[in-house]
Each structure stands twice: as C-alpha cells, then as structure tokens.
Amino acid sequence: MRPAVAGSEWRAYSFADTPAIDRAKIAYFALSVFWRASVHPWVQANGERTHIELGTKYSDQIRRYLLDETAVPRNASLRVVACSDLVNQKTFFTPRENQKVKDRSVIFPQINYLEPRVIAT
C-alpha cells in the first residue's frame, strides 16, 4: 500500500487507501477510554492518580454515544496514530489532559482527542 503522504520516518494513509480499517470501532474504543477517565480517577502502580475533565456537556454527550443513544458528538474529532516500533506498541499510558494547548484536549498513547471538535477521520 502506498502512503498518501510520507516523511523520512513516518507515513500517512488516506481513508480511501485503507478501507479495511474500521474507524467507528477505533473511535468508540478511544471515546470509551476518555469517558472512563473523566468519571473515575485511575490509580497507577506508583500511586499517581489520573483524571481528565471533559466538561459536563461533552461527558454526557459521549456517555449517550457509548450507550448507542445518540451519534458521535457533532463538534468532536479524533486523530489516531499507529506506531510501528515495538516499544510504543507494547506501551500503555493513561489518558491525560494536554497542557500544551489552550483548547480542551486529552491525550492517550497514539490517540488524541480534541474537544470540542470528536471523531475518526
């Protein structure tokens, strides 16, 4: 498969070039992880607690989406990056709020959720 865009150490593929990828399942999984991290703190092995804040409006919209009551929140976007190296493939990080940007966004290993924009492209 030929990438739509490529750099020296990365490749990007278009939706048309990857029809076998079920983006709806990836989005559902990612949103479920973010929602869970927003309603309950995760305690890591070192005792560090992780909690993210989606805001009442988006938390409820995502909850209703996960229950199959509504569609994906209209103003949401999701960017997914799949790493090819073994270190990243075998690593898991809990969701965290992204402190580097001013809009509400949370990060998760190789999955980024930006609010108020949510879904797989």
Q: What pLDDT, on the 0 to 100 scale, is given for residue 62?
A: 92
Exposure pattern of 53-84 as b/e (b: 16+ CB <10 Å)? ebeeebbebbbebeeeeeebbeebbbebeeee
- Evaluate if residue 69 carries a pLDDT over 90: yes
Measured between alpha carbons, how far is 26 from 119 in angstroms, rounded to an integer? 9
- Evaluate if residue 12 carries a pLDDT over 90: no
* Helix (H) or strand (E) segment spanning residue 57: helix 56-66
- Evaluate if residue 85 carries a pLDDT over 70: yes
24-64 pLDDT, tens digit per residue, is 888 898 889 889 988 998 888 888 888 888 888 889 999 99
Asked whether the beta carbons of 113 and 96 are under 8 A apart, the reply is no
Q: What pLDDT, on the 0 to 100 scale, is given for residue 66?
A: 96
Report how far apart, in Å, the C-alpha atoms of 97 and of each of 11, 33, 73, 78 are.
26, 13, 19, 15
Measured between alpha carbons, how far is 58 from 35 in angstroms, rounded to an integer? 9
- Evaluate if residue 110 carries a pLDDT over 70: no
Q: Which residue has the higher pLDDT, 84 or 101?
A: 84
Domain ranges across the chain:
22-114
Q: What pLDDT, on the 0 to 100 scale, is given for residue 104?
A: 56
Q: What pLDDT, on the 0 to 100 scale, is given for residue 117?
A: 37
Q: What pLDDT, on the 0 to 100 scale, is given for residue 63?
A: 95
